[in-house]
Amino acid sequence: MAKCIVLRGRGIVEGRCKAEALVSTKPISFLGDVDPETGKIIEKKHDLYGVSIKDRVLCFPHGHGSTVGSYVLYSLAKKGLAPKAIINHKADPVIVVGAVIANIPMIDKIDIGKINSGDIIKADAYKGIVKILKAEEG
């Protein structure tokens, strides 16, 4: 049996998806932190260093840094390397604009500390709902 936790936030860019979570405790600057050619995190000091964000539900506290990040998200989406959805604690305009033009479902005002990498997530950005389907432990 899987147990299910429901978190309620705010839907930002509409869409629904079900995919595996990838959770970072660190903010992300898409320009610089993410390689647009591979979709991998290339910032050595980042906790997701070397990991691909492709097709994951990418959960991180907020965006920071370069304002070109919006375009990097768009590039990733065009190459099929974008995350399936973005979940933030606090939405940042650079990430929002990127998600809008790249058409990536996005939700914020979520306590991402409740989500672990590897959890299966059902994200409904129409309603701002994140369902965490965890495999039963032990």
Partner 1 sequence: MKILVKIGELFDASRLIPIESAHVSGVSYKTLGEAPTDFLEALANTGEKIKVEATLNPQSLDPKHLATRLPKHLIEMQLKLCGIFEKLGFKKSFTCTPYYIKEPRKGAHLAWAESSAVVYANSVLGAWTNREGGPSALAAAIIGKTPDCGIHRAENRKPKVVAEVKASLENEIDYGALGIFLGKILEDKIPLIKGLKNPSPEDLKQLGAALASAGMVNMFHYKDRIKTEERLEKIIVEPKDIKETVAELTTTRTQKTDLVFVGCPHCSLREIKKIANAISNQKVRDDIEFWICTSRLVKEKAKAYVRKIEASGAKILTDTCAVVTWTDKLGIKTIMTNSAKTAHYAPTLNKAETILASLKECLKTALKE
Chain residues binding partner 1 by CB under 8 A are 10, 12-13, 27, 29, 31-33, 36, 42-44, 61-72, 74-75, 77-79, 90-98, 100-101
CB count, 10 Å around CB of 45? 7
**Minimum distance from residue 79 beta carbon to partner 1 (Å):** 7
- In the complex with partner 1, the residue whose CB is nearer, 83 or 132, is 83
Out of 29, 52, 66, 70, the active site residue is 66
Please, which residue, 19 or 101, has the CB nearer to partner 1? 101
Report the sign of the C-alpha dihedral through residues 31, 53, 105, 79, in that order.
Answer: positive
Report the alpha-carbon distance of residue 7 to residue 118 in Å, rounded: 17
Q: Is 66 a catalytic residue?
A: yes
For partner 1, the closer CB: 95 or 115 = 95
The b/e string for 69-100 (b: 16+ C-beta within 10 A; e otherwise) is: bbbbbbbbbeeebbbbbbbbbebbebbbbbbe
Cα torsion angle, 7, 125, 123, 78, sign: negative
Q: What is the smallest separation between the CB atom of 15 and partner 1, expressed in angstroms?
A: 13
Least distance from partner 1 to the Cβ atom of residue 86, Å: 13
| Active-site residue set | 66
